[in-house]
Amino acid sequence: MTHQIKDLADYKKTYEHSIKNPEAFWESEAESFTWMKKWDKVLEWNFDEPKIEWFKGAKLNITVNCLDRHIKDRGDQTALLWEANDPSEPSKHISYSELLGKVCQCANALKELGIGKGDRVVFYMPMVPELAIGVLACARIGAIHSVVFAGFSAQALADRVDDAQAKMIICSDYNNRGAKHIAVKDVVDEAMDKSCNSVEHVLVQKNGNNEVNWSDDTDVWWHEIVDKQSKECEPEEMDAEDMLFILYTSGSTGKPKGVVHTCGGYMVYTCSSFRNVFQYKDGDVYWCTADIGWITGHSYIVYGPLLAGATSLMFEGVPTYPDAGRFWHICEKHKVNQFYTAPTAIRALMACGNNWPDNYDLSSLKLLGSVGEPINEEAWHWYDEHIGKKNSPIIDTWWQTETGGIMITPLPGITDAKPTFASYPLPGIQPILLDSDGNILEGNNVEGLLCVNFPWPSILRTTYGDHARCKLTYFSAFPGYYFTGDGARRDEDGRIRVIGRVDDVLNVSGHRMGTAEVENAINEHENVIESAVVGYPHDIKGQGIYAYVIINGVPSDDIINEIRAVVTREIGPIAKPDKIQVVPGLPKTRSGKIMRRILRKIASNELSNMGDVSTLLNPEVVDEVIAGRL
Ligand code: WTA
């Protein structure tokens, strides 16, 4: 196993070694895995092209490391502990041996359906065990998985399928989310009607009792093809730099891009970070509440925990069903030791009152994690007092889809935890702050743009099908550095606090969204002439979506509702604007660029300090926009 940091002195020593001798450090971290062939070179890189290769020349299969290598010592241990949406449904305990068998069966079925190494498979599924099984089955045979969050619309799904030229979609027939019973397969059918011409088969996992439309040409039931397969499947030999998966994420421009992670480095980093950050010990029950549709679910429900031989809890439902005590009920029921969730969930549950957590025995909890967005001080203290009983360190973990794993975080019981601070970098991570001219801000008590100046094993390698975009987005703003898109502050003691995005990316309930993406959707409405979308502070969601629209015709509630419906259709309900203000014009610079800074201030009700508007092309609209603000 990778090194597990045990105390502060060990952290300092390990960190220093990892920075001074990164190759020696990562080589020793990588030693303990099962490789079919060891590397010729630990690292080769440049951030200019960019081209980053870790464990060059090595051969492996990540599922051998997630599953096969654990069979001898922990074959009967629960690997996945699944809790259904409906609390009366029994939990499932899938052992490492069983999981290996199921993954192999699914892998054999994929092969029978013509899927092989390098083919792309898109998942559009709720949080059922088959999602984790299917993802691992792809990895077993070298197919590249791309999980699409099942809350996205048919259009968003089709866009991702087309971009990846996926050969197969794996979905469920129904998604049970709280009291809702969503016909997931219908969404896939709609996507297939729109485009998805590369798709040869749709593999459907049965998750409901109602009928679904069926196309004999493409559709195959999971239980009909998977269950009859052999429980053995030879793992495909993969190069360390072969693609493991694509995960689409939003940027400040254009359509979401497919972030690419590769086999070797991602494996080493997710395992190493999981063991250090969660201080996982044998016998612990670890629960991350994320959806596997996001990077957190990939790295810290599936890969990291399984690589480390952990018991990983997977929950199908939502925090408030059947009531606001559900999370705490699950913690009590399964004696959860490590609990990892998002600030938006904490804020939503905090608003439901203290009785809910107070009613359950939460004494098994050893640490509490937070991820996805900045955690505000009030939520941090509530989490600390009412869930952790001031007895479980809070780890505020900062990272991104592109980083593959946690980058900056306190280590529980090892480094201090200051509210709202992600604090210290993990071994191998070299964060720096730059000013807008690209000068490094040395020392403490400084604020700037968060960059990283040296590669780590799970850094993204490219954006699928468009390497130029990867270079432009992450490696061009400040040549020689990876630019995160976040602003951050280093306090007087050197702890880092991530403040939020400095680009046009929103973070709504921990979901990343590009303002341009939402604007493009809004502009699909026939009455919309132009729109501008900004974020504003929102008590529960962290950020809400505020849309300014210029429409042709008479504004009406109907049009506003239709605009919301168009966004739901184009992206999904998570992108629906909270506020839509009809405006006569948008403040623009003389070169015609929308002045978002002003719109953000108006949306946030910060009217006292609008800055200089006299250089605008149309300064008069500012007062009109203010007058009509919602
Ligand atoms: C934000 C999620 C503050 C940040 C793992 C980042 C955070 C974006 C934190 C990535 C945190 C994530 N504190 N901000 N602890 N964690 N973020 O790709 O703006 O969905 O750039 O990855 O979320 O979101 P993504």
Residue 421's pLDDT is what? 96
Q: What sign does the CA torsion over 376, 379, 383, 385 have?
A: positive
Pocket test for ligand 1, best of 450, 451, 483, 498 (most atoms within 8 A of CB): 498
CA distance 331 to 252: 37
| pLDDT given for residue 49 in this prediction | 97
Distance 129 CA to ligand 1 centre (A): 26
Beta bridge partners of 314: 82
Q: Which atom of ligand 1 is nearest to the CA of 498?
A: 3
Q: How many angstroms separate the CA atoms of 328 and 383, rounded?
A: 12
Query: Is ipTM > 0.85 here?
Result: yes
Tell me which residue of 399, 397, 433, 431 sits closest to 417, measured CA to CA: 397
| pLDDT computed for residue 613 by the predictor | 86
Kindly give the distance from the C-alpha atom of residue 581 to the centroid of ligand 1, in angstroms, as a whole number.
Answer: 28
Out of 344, 400, 460, 501, mutate this one to test ligand 1's pocket (max ligand atoms within 8 Å of CB): namely 400
Q: Which of 306, 313, 280, 314 is nearest to 69 (CA)?
A: 306
Q: Which residues of the chain have pLDDT under 70?
A: none
pLDDT digits over 111-165, tens only? 999 999 999 999 999 999 999 999 999 999 999 999 999 999 999 999 999 999 9
Residue 553 and residue 527 in contact, taking contact as beta carbons nearer than 8 Å = yes
- Whether residue 437 contacts residue 452, with contact meaning beta carbons closer than 8 Å, is answered with no
Count of other CB atoms within 10 angstroms of residue 335: 13
Give which of 291, 322, 277 is closest to 509, Cα–Cα: 291
Residue 119 token pair: 């083919």
Determine the distance separating the centroid of ligand 1 and the alpha carbon of 362, expressed in angstroms.
Answer: 27
Query: How many degrees, rounded to 5, is the angle at CA 14 between CA 9 and CA 19?
Result: 130
Q: What is the structure's pLDDT at 612?
A: 83
Q: Cα 126 to chain center, whole Å?
A: 15
The residues, any chain, with a CB within 8 Å of residue 267's CB and separated by 6 or more, are: 33, 60, 62, 65, 303, 307
Q: Which of 346, 335, 343, 277 is nearest to 311 (CA)?
A: 335
- Rounded to whole angstroms, how far apart are CA atoms 312 and 323? 23
* R_g of the chain, CA atoms, integer Å: 24
How remote is the CA of residue 400 from the centroid of ligand 1, in Å? 5
Within 10 angstroms of residue 628's Cβ, the number of other Cβ atoms is 13
By the 8 A CB rule, do 452 and 429 touch? Answer: yes
Give the atom of ligand 1 at the shortest distance from the alpha carbon of 501. Answer: 19
- Gap from CA of 475 to ligand 1 centroid (Å): 18
Q: Which atom of ligand 1 is nearest to the CA of 505?
A: 19
Quote the pLDDT of residue 611: 81
Question: Residue 283, Cβ neighbours under 10 Å: how many?
Answer: 9
Measured at the CA of 187, the angle between CA 469 and CA 223, to 5 degrees, comes to: 105
pLDDT of residue 615: 86
d(CA 93, CA 591) in angstroms, rounded, equals 61
pLDDT of residue 521: 96
The amino acid present at 76, given as its one-letter code, is D
Ligand 1 centroid, distance to 499 Cα (angstroms): 10
Residue having the nearest C-alpha atom to atom 25 of ligand 1: 400
Pocket of ligand 1 (CB under 6 A): 249, 294-296, 371-374, 396-401, 422, 484-486, 498, 500-501, 507, 512
Cis? peptide before 129, omega within 30° of 0: no
